[in-house]
Amino acid sequence: MSTAPPRLVVAAPSSGSGKTTVATGLMAAFAARGLAVSGHKVGPDYIDPGYHALATGRPGRNLDARLCGTDRLAPLFLHAAGTPRPADIAVVEGVMGLFDGAAGQGELASTAQVAKVLRAPVVLVVDARGQGRSVAALVQGFAGFDTGVRLGGVILNQVGGARHEEILRDALEETGLPVLGVLGRHAAVSAPSRHLGLVPAVERRAEAVRAVAELADLVAASCDLAALHALARSAPDLPAEPWDPAAEATAVSPAGIGDAEDPADRAATPGAPGPVGPVGPVGPGEPAGGAGARPRIAMAGGAAFSFGYEEHRELLAAAGAEVADVDPLRDEALPEGTDALVVGGGFPEVYAAELAENTALRHAVAAAVASGVPVVAECAGLLYLSRELDGRPMCGVVDATARMTDRLTLGYREAVAATDSVLAAAGTRIAGHEFHRTVVEPGAGAAGPGGAGPAWLWRGPSGRPHAEGFVTGHVHASYLHLHWAGAPQLPVRLAALARRLRSAR
């Protein structure tokens, strides 16, 4: 059993109560006092962890039972809290309301579930606008709804003044729960928002650094840090061992990876090499994914592609790959020797003009695809690989056009790989998440002879089958966000194929 750090879960009755303000402020305030802080976010959110990283100086990490499995929550938490060095305290920001999770699946993927798995006390952030003594009934209801969740105290937000604070404190005395902080109505430090939530920290680095510093000062002045630290220290140890990316990658069997036959042999891509054979078992001292040269896998980043999980890098490295960075807004070429490319989520729609103007990199990506380099793209990456986005030219390796809409597509998906690809063998079952306001319309030849096959199949809310994404040659492009910690065979398969293609060239 590994030693777990002191920890708190910051939750709320509903979205918009101030969880991000309090959680990020707590992380920054504890870090300012010399503590090594591990920051976490419940659910598939990519944006809040960017602010957590600024507050703590280490990667923000997600805890998502739906995407990674309940049994991996504690191991992933312990891995994050121990990397790059052991944390003195961990702060977990919840998602939505305390008991809200995957729709129709009980507590699954909720903040409450994570708190129970981590044996962590919960601090409830309550937006007190328009409330008096009724705040006690609200808090008491949350405290008693699930006795497996330990509510350790309350932080009041949006309090109207000294008299309002006095009324709220008097009321909460009847619950027996301590008030651990009081934030005034105009005290919250705001971050700009747009169509998918807060603007990511990477897009406003200087302003975000100042905002996080202001949050640290706000929380330190408004909350009882000593009492919160003591509450965090009351969390018991965890009966789990840290998640180990090397062990996860090594444990993937050839059957789990599937046949690493070159998909381009069945859906021809100009210049692609022929079959590369099956993936063999991992030998002693050998990188996961079989023998061969160490492949270089480029990952898109920067302001336009800021959505990603740190565990993806760790799993690719564990699978024997060297991970390199490329910023499609700034770089005019792929990293030298790129053997595969991963283009994750983000906001290409915001930077469509700049992405279009970088013709050198767009042409480099198209040339790499034509030469047989495997490419995995999700959501923003799908838009970037399309022929155009909002009328501006993109890479043109997927026969489709993309455009912004007013409609939000959001939710977890239970999907099955529809087509053998560089990422997954047909029939592979995964859990994913959609989150976008764009649509992609296939071109006239996309589904014709020799055209793309769908990436995934799932059933929509109505129960009707839904085919989504594109698989063509070495390209796998889809709207679906995945967390590879929940499906380590995916990065192992990608790294194995990249290695064999590198050896064949």
Active site residue 379: yes
Token pair 């309350």 in the structure block, residue = 154
Q: d(Cα 12, Cα 481) in Å, to the nearest integer?
A: 26
Adjacent-strand bridge partners of 10: 93, 123
Q: d(Cα 206, Cα 192) in Å, to the nearest integer?
A: 13
DSSP secondary structure code for residue 502 in this structure: H
Q: d(Cα 319, Cα 234) in Å, to the nearest integer?
A: 38
DSSP secondary structure code for residue 401 in this structure: E
Helix (H) or strand (E) holding 440: strand 429-442
Answer yes or no: are the C-beta atoms of 470 and 263 closer than 8 Å: no
Helix (H) or strand (E) holding 77: helix 73-81
Q: d(Cα 283, Cα 391) in Å, to the nearest integer?
A: 50
Q: d(Cα 337, Cα 100) in Å, to the nearest integer?
A: 45
Integer Rg of the chain from CA: 24
Helix (H) or strand (E) holding 325: strand 322-326
Tell me the two tokens of residue 178: 């301590």
CA-based nearest residue to 312, from 36, 76, 16: 76
Q: d(Cα 15, Cα 486) in Å, to the nearest integer?
A: 26
Answer yes or no: are the C-beta atoms of 473 and 264 closer than 8 Å: yes
User: What 3 state SS string does 334-382 have?
Assistant: CCCCCCEEEECECCCCCCHHHHHHCHHHHHHHHHHHHCCCCEEEECHHH
Instruction: Cite the active site residues.
Output: 379
